[in-house]
Copies of this chain bind each other. A is one copy, B any other.
Amino acid sequence: MQNPTACLLVIGNEVLSGRTQDANINFLAKGLGAIGIPLREVRVIPDVAETIIATVNEIRARFDHVFTTGGIGPTHDDITSECVAMAFGVPWEPHPVAWARMEAHYAQTEQGVAAFNAARQRMATMPRGATLIDNAISIAPGFSIGNVHVMAGVPRIMQAMFATLAPTLAGGPPIVSRAVHSTGAAEGTIAEGLAAIQNRFEALDIGSYPYYRASGQGVAIVAKGNDAAQCEAAIAEVAELFRSLGAEVIDGEPGF
């Protein structure tokens, strides 16, 4: 079975300006691999309507799933939701369930301090046909429309949304990996033997990653794919390659 593919769209000037260190790419890369919808591309784009609309339309045609993070709050720079409506060519209108829920929520708070005002009403306004993505942390939901899943940018809210969303997606077999590393080997020395191993295990993705840690430097080799036994067999050959060069062999990835 072929794995469905995913593209992540990180929307926000704050990542591009360096104000914010993105944490969502790594979380979703792992989470999507675990449900068998591997992440194949990421784009980080600014809060610019034409860019968001054009990018959403390009990537939703090219990937099985598109996940977006950021730009669904109440302020002027939060324009993801209306841009997704424009990309799909559907009206951007109050979502009855989200609206009723947020209206009831803010009615319980002190009026004026946290009223269900025009800014907050925008968070209950969505492309027609959107399905809500609830989350356990904030009252405002994300949503899915077609193969596009729109989530918050704040990591803990995004993670809570992904926890709701993930079980609803039909993934392929999970991506698994095995690793081995050695402080006694250099990439340039093992490269030829490693390429031969990659050629013998065509279904796997074998990566070579030099590391520089306080505990020492060396090379880590990671084999990834759908078949754990194949990954183990490939990594066993890598271990043998390390040994043949007189280098030590350490199971798994290096610590930090």
Contact = CB atoms under 8 A, between A and B. Distances in A.
A188 B189 CA distance: 58
Nearest to A112: B189
B16 A29 contact: yes
Contacts of A17: 29-30, 33, 38-39, 175, 177, 205, 224
A198 B117 contact: no
Interface string A215-256: 000000010100000000000000000000000000001000
A101 interface: no
A125 interface: no
Contact of A25 (B22, B30, B76, B187): B22
A53 interface: no
A145 interface: no
A72 to B, nearest CB: 11
A16 B44 contact: no
A138 B77 CA distance: 42
Given A77-B207, A117-B188, A154-B210, A38 B26 contact: no
A154 B21 CA distance: 17
Interface string A53-87: 00000000000000000000111110000000000
Contacts of A93: none
Contacts of A191: 74-76, 117-120
B77 A206 contact: yes
A3 interface: no
Nearest to A102: B188
A33 B18 contact: yes
B14 A207 contact: yes
Contact of A189 (B44, B114, B206): B114
Given A13-B207, A21-B26, A29-B18, A212 B39 contact: no
13 contacts: A16-B40, A17-B38, A18-B33, A19-B177, A19-B253, A40-B46, A42-B42, A42-B44, A74-B191, A76-B191, A77-B207, A77-B208, A113-B186
Given A73-B208, A75-B195, A118-B191, 16 more contacts: A13-B205, A13-B224, A14-B222, A16-B29, A16-B41, A17-B39, A18-B26, A21-B26, A22-B26, A74-B187, A75-B187, A76-B194, A77-B198, A77-B207, A119-B188, A120-B191
